[in-house]
Amino acid sequence: MNALLEGSLAAVLDFAPPLLLAALGGVLSERSGVVNIGLEGMMRVGAFAAACGAYFTGSPWLGLLCGALAGGLTAAVHALLSLRYRADQVVSGIALNLVALGLITFLLETVFGSAGVSPPVPSLPRDAFGHTALSYAALAAPVALHLFLQHTAAGLRIRAVGEHPRAAATLGVRVLRLRALCVLGSGLFAGLGGGALSVGILGQFDSRMPAGAGFMALAAVVFGKWTPLGAGAAALFFAFADALQRQLGFALHAADLHLEGVFLALPYALTLAVLALGIGRTRAPAADGVPYEQEGR
Amino acid sequence: MADLRARLFAPARDPLWAALLAIGASLLLCFLAILATGKDPIAGYGWMADGALGGLRPLGETALKGGVLILTGLSVAVAFSVGLFNIGAEGQLIWGALAAAVVGRALDLPAPLLIPAALGAAALAGGLWALIPALLKVGRGVHEVISTILLNWVAIHLVHGWLVSGPLAARTGGEHVSVAGTAPIRAAAHLPRLLPEGRLDLGLPLALLCALAVWAIFRHARKGFEWRAVGASAEAARASGIPVGRRICEAMFLSGALAGLAGSLLILGTEHRYPGVFRTGYGFDGIAVALVGASSAPGVVLAGLFFGAIRAGATRLQLVDIHPSFAELIQGLTVLLVAAPRLFAKLLSKLRGKARAATETGGAP
Amino acid sequence: MTAPPLALELSGITKRFSGAAVLDAVSLTLAPGEVLALVGENGAGKSTLVNIACGLYRADEGTVRVLGQPLPPGDPRAAIAAGIGVVHQHFMLVGPLTVWENVVLGSEPRRKGPLGALGLMDRAEARRQVADAAARSGLALDVDAQIESIGVAQQQRVEIVKQLWRGARVLILDEPTAVLSPKEADELVATARGLAASGKSILFISHKLREVLAVADRVAVLRRGKLVLEARASETSAGALAEAVVGQRVAAELLTALGAATPAVTRAVESRPAATSLVARDLRCDSDRGRPALRGLSFTLGKGEVLGIAGVDGNGQTELAEVLTGLRPASGSVLLDGQEGLARAGWARTSGAARRAGVVHLPEDRLRRALCLALTVEENLALGHQDAPPWARGPRGALVDHAGRRRRARELLEAFDVRPPDPTARAGGLSGGNQQKLVAARELLGGAPPRLVVAVQPTRGLDLGATRRLHQALRTARDAGAAVLVISLDLDELRAVADRILVLYDGAAAGETLPSATDEELGRMLLGQGRREAKAHG
């Protein structure tokens, strides 16, 4: 049992970064008042761009940068549509997921000539314990985002804009611009998370990526009550459940028990339970998803 | 979330034109994308048209996929009517499919009884699963977008990672074949095929019947009117004595039932068992169908058939080295463009302005 | 002249909305360290004046000067920079943030050095500054408390501190006591006096004469966009103010204008109610903000009687209407033809039950409460009786009767002259006045004859013809035996349509009178000075 736990804990550091980074992206966007269902698509674009970047430059770090930028670019579409053209934020996010699904498969085939997986690409170097620098950075990221939101002027404004945009506007805060920046930041995070999947973990792009990690990140945002630390902890917990499931998987299969689905469903079911039972006053930012109309005077 | 429909569809003054424009623009963008990669878009689109419309067999495929898409589109549209955004059609579809597979296997009945029983079980399963977000919304104020997303994944993992690979998995001589999914359904549960050639089965007529029923409910039933009132303004509906919570639950049950039926069509019509891996994306596509179809029953039928044709045709894209998931790109772009009618409005007015300027300068001398 | 410049000087302000003058050459001055109270009925033009002073609206004529400098019109930021701070009736506070965060939002003190350049706030400095600003103005505040966790009075202090911290020298308090308990209101009056003593200038907008006389150095009264009285507080009286607010009205002229042939007094005698229909006893309920809105209201209403409910906005009228239509839980007792509404499964427990009992509702907030803007006109007309003929057919009205609905809709549209008279138009496309007519037509004539009509501000936004038609419809309902409750802020309207007037003040009955009561009598009751109290003062 001890070995099992140890194995799982070690694996968490591997599996957590994509989830963690995407969840923080979700927190940033939703705290500013823009729902981001498109995390999954942004991760997918990021994962592919990171693989491409690493493949063509030979540097996994440049690959990660490409991933983040591509995620940001995808987010820019979301910001443009939902903020400037007032498309429904949920619809825009869903549409982006669909586009990412089709587009990336298409590009994968075009660039690498395979609809399944990319060729192996340079992946991030690992330290003596087998972890990448990105893993450690991802662990620090929730704290950084927390400090940013709580201790900087921009953070204060973001929190205000997600709750009561009109109040912030009367004090001179430019609501739409700030929201757009947060959506872009959210895309950078998600794209980086995608890069963590392809360049960080697997060392190649798989056409099934991110396989629901974006949605699980969304669940982590809700489970973590829309706070960076909460979402970070939730992402770690979900990653742990996932790792445990993988570790247990072999044992269970040997006993002819097929329970991995129960483990995999657990994060979502728990999040739902937290919402349903209202444990510890779970509440989305008040203006989350509510379009802001500037005064036309 | 009040007045969701108005927010989604009001900016488009004419939903038909908005949809056609979006479809045209998205086809054009995809054409350019293929061109940019050095492949042959004309041949590609030709193959696609051929795969969707060229003969009985392709038409059958289009109709088959169209039928499923019509049902998931109707599912999303019915939820829209009470102002709810049901992103959970995928999960509801999965439960419906599983229920159909189980009943189609377990009951020893003649076809005229077994098929309705399997369909009914699928509708019930999907409806009950959709009732969860409805009750959470009414009772606890949980936003349905979040709860339905979560429930999708609960359904996906519970069914695929446990039920279908564990308790419900087919066992052949004690040997475990988890990838194969459940045991096959009885032959009596197979949906009858309608054409000598191709796979077109009873699914499309069933879907059209459902569309007719939904149209009749929206247009002629008092209940449908009350749903729409709830969707347009829950406050006003409550003030005029309509039990808002109950109406939301009813509509969500129907929404889930339609998605469940869609799942059963796939099982009873083509798969004939619940496969080990069954990620069809039809549930998510239902959102696209409902949006492009402006959430009306006739619109959903047209949009469903169109996307069915794209899906059927896209399988032929492989002939020019393009993966069939190109269909998702076309759909996604269409939704993206339908979702931002203001973008078109602006473009159109700009074009008009330019045209006017052109005629003015042209007419000046 | 060596006198210091005036803190605020409004000269000759005129503002028209679609041609009608809302403000007509209004001039006001406010000296440093002075409190000026601005009094007037709803719709007298007070809010418009405030919005012009703080740069939200442009005046059509006239200028605004702050400390001698003219303000550029229509520029709220310039107004803030010049030192004008408005505390709106609805607070502009971010609930989950702390007090100090709300105060400094948008102008956050930064750390010194490179950290500040990175945008790091100096939280200690910010907290200290906010605490200082609060202490200097004598307002006790916990700067680390979350806005959501503190009471309304505290939140108001935060708004005041927010303005002071930003350097406001002229504070405009827009009906600041409307949300406060009497004790809190007294404290606010003391705060305002303290701020004035420290040199701030305060424009204090209120309805309540008691606190106006307590807080103000001078009082100005607006009536229908005109300044009708300006006096030193010490040289005027509650009586004089009340009369100025309500105005000397000529009943006959008014009734002609409204097309009511019979003077109210005689009508009250003619239509003596046959039997008591509605009996409310000791009604109590809370407002949305969780404060007591009705505090033991009792009254009766006869069959075939129109009872007018008068009162300044926010004294429990909205909540009363909601209780009677099943939209708000309450305690006490309310009998309709002998049936208890607040009992288990009583008629006032749900809106559906109220409908079935024959209660119809013309709500105050029509866009939110009465209409589905995305639906058509005829669909909106069917709401509330959509299960009964001619709107529905079939067993239990399961089907929409399109032909019957269309026919009935046309009749109703004609009866109320709704324009355009197109049953298939979207309700959202109608003008405000026509939307109002739509609701009235539906509620009064759409279904079975009502037993109780609850009409809140039924003619707001209507032109004279439509007003006449609506009043006629209310009278028709009354003559058919309905009990009619008309809640209005407009005394003219109540005089024209009511048989009896009940004045609400602070959630209870301040008095009851006939429509023929004098302006002064009504004015005193409205402004919280009952007859007895007035006598004691006099």
Cβ contact (<8 Å) for B284 and A97?
Answer: yes
Residues B239, C361: C-beta atoms closer than 8 Å: yes
Tell me what pLDDT residue B98 has.
92
pLDDT (mean) for A269-280: 79
Q: Compare CB distances from B220 to C350, C397, C400 and report the shortest one's residue.
A: C400
Closest CA to B101 of B296, B252, B266, B282: B266
Whether B161 and A272 lie within 8 Å, measured CB to CB:
no
- Do C97 and A151 make contact, defined as CB atoms within 8 angstroms? no
B93: pLDDT strictly greater than 90:
yes
C-facing residues of A in 178-237 (CB < 8 A) are none
Peptide bond into A210 cis (omega under 30): yes
**C67 pLDDT more than 70:** yes
Does residue A274 have a pLDDT over 90?
Answer: no
Q: Which residues contact B264 (CB under 8 A, 6 or more apart)?
A: B96, B97, B99, B100, B118, B119, B121, B122, B123
When scoring B31, B154, B350 by the number of chain A Cβ atoms within 10 A, the one with the most, hence best to mutate, is: B154
- Strand order through the sheet with C20-30: C20-30, C8-17, C61-66, C69-70
Closest residue in C to B216 (Cα–Cα): C399
Interchain pair B241, C356: CB under 8 A: yes
Average pLDDT of every residue of chain C: 83
pLDDT at position C167 over 90: no
Give tens-digit pLDDT for B251-262.
Answer: 999 999 999 999
What rounded mean pLDDT belongs to chain A?
Answer: 85
Is B140 within 8 Å of A257 when comparing Cβ atoms?
Answer: no
Any idea which of B113-117, B194-198, C230-234, C294-298 has the lowest mean pLDDT?
B194-198
Q: Under an 8 A CB cutoff, do B239 and C387 touch?
A: no
Give the separation between CA C434 and CA C422, rounded to whole angstroms: 12
Range of B84-93, C43-52, C266-275 with top mean pLDDT: B84-93
Tokens for C97?
A: 């943030």
Q: From CA C316, how far away is CA C499, in angstroms rounded?
A: 21
With a pLDDT cut of 90, the percent of chain C lying above it is 22
Alpha-carbon distance B42 to B340, whole Å? 28
Considering only CB atoms, C397 lies closest to which of B222, B228, B237, namely B222
- C106–A171 C-beta distance less than 8 A: yes
Task: Write out the H or E segment, with its range, that includes residue C334.
Answer: strand C331-336
* Residue (of C137, C141, C143, C124) closest to C164 by Cα position: C137
pLDDT digits (tens, 9 = 90+) for B135-156: 999 988 888 888 999 999 999 8
Residue A164 near chain C (CB below 8 Å): yes
Q: Which residues 6+ apart lie within 8 Å of A196 measured at CB?
A: A17, A18, A21, A64, A134, A138
Q: Which amino acid is at C528?
A: G
Taking a C-beta distance cutoff of 8 angstroms, is the pair C143, C94 a contact? Answer: no
Determine which of A164-173, A254-263, B131-140 has the lowest per-residue pLDDT on average: A254-263
Residue B75 has a pLDDT of: 95
For residue C399, the chain B residues in CB contact (below 8 A) are 220-222
Query: CB of B193 within 8 Å of any CB in chain C?
Result: no
- Name the band, by pLDDT with cuts 50, 70 and 90, for residue C517: confident
How far apart (Å, rounded) are the C-alpha atoms in residues C406 and B338?
A: 33
Over range A45-61, report the average pLDDT: 92
- Identify which has the larger pLDDT, A294 or B52: B52
Instruction: Report yes or no: C522 and C491 within 8 Å, Cβ to Cβ.
Output: yes
pLDDT reported for residue C247: 67
Q: What is the mean pLDDT of the segment spanning C363-377?
A: 84
pLDDT at B5: 63
Burial class (CB in 10 A: 0-12, 13-18, 19+), B365: exposed
Q: List pLDDT tens digits, range B265-298.
A: 999 888 888 887 777 788 888 988 998 888 889 9
pLDDT of res. A58:
87
> How close C502 gets to chain B, by Cα (Å)?
25
Nearest to C509 by CA among C353, C316, C328: C316
Closest in B219, B232, B241 to C374, CB measured: B232
Average pLDDT over residues C169-195: 85
What is the spatial order of strands in the sheet that C84-87 belongs to?
Answer: C84-87, C170-174, C201-206, C35-39, C218-223, C226-232
Contacts of B226 in chain C (CB under 8 A): 386
pTM for the full model?
0.85
CA B98 – CA B122 distance, rounded (Å): 7
Average the pLDDT over A128-142 and give the result: 84
Interior CA angle at B7 toward B1 and B13, to 5°? 165
Chain A contacts of B327, Cβ < 8 Å? 102
pLDDT of residue C261: 39
Tell me the average pLDDT across C86-114: 87
> Which DSSP helix (H) or strand (E) runs through B103?
helix B89-106
User: Looking at per-residue confidence, does C79 or C538 come out higher?
Assistant: C79
Q: In angstroms, what separates the C-alpha of C428 from chain A's closest C-alpha?
A: 19
> What is the per-residue pLDDT for A254?
61
pLDDT band at C493 (very low <50, low <70, confident <90, very high): confident
Mean pLDDT of chain B: 84
Q: Does B3 touch chain C (CB under 8 A)?
A: yes
State the smallest CA–CA distance between residue B243 and chain C in angstroms. Answer: 7
Q: What is the pLDDT of residue B55?
A: 84
| 3-class DSSP state of A263 | helix
CB distance B223–C375 less than 8 Å?
A: no
Contact in structure between C500 and C511 (CB atoms under 8 Å): no
Would you say residue C270 has pLDDT above 70?
no
DSSP H or E stretch at residue B158: helix B144-158
**Reported ipTM:** 0.84
Q: Does residue B5 sit at the A interface (CB-CB below 8 Å)?
A: no
The pLDDT score that the predictor gives to residue C403 is 92
Identify all chain A residues contacting C96, using CB atoms and an 8 Å cutoff.
Answer: 159, 163, 286
Handedness of CA A154, A157, A162, A165 (dihedral sign): negative
What is the arithmetic mean of pLDDT over C159-186? 85
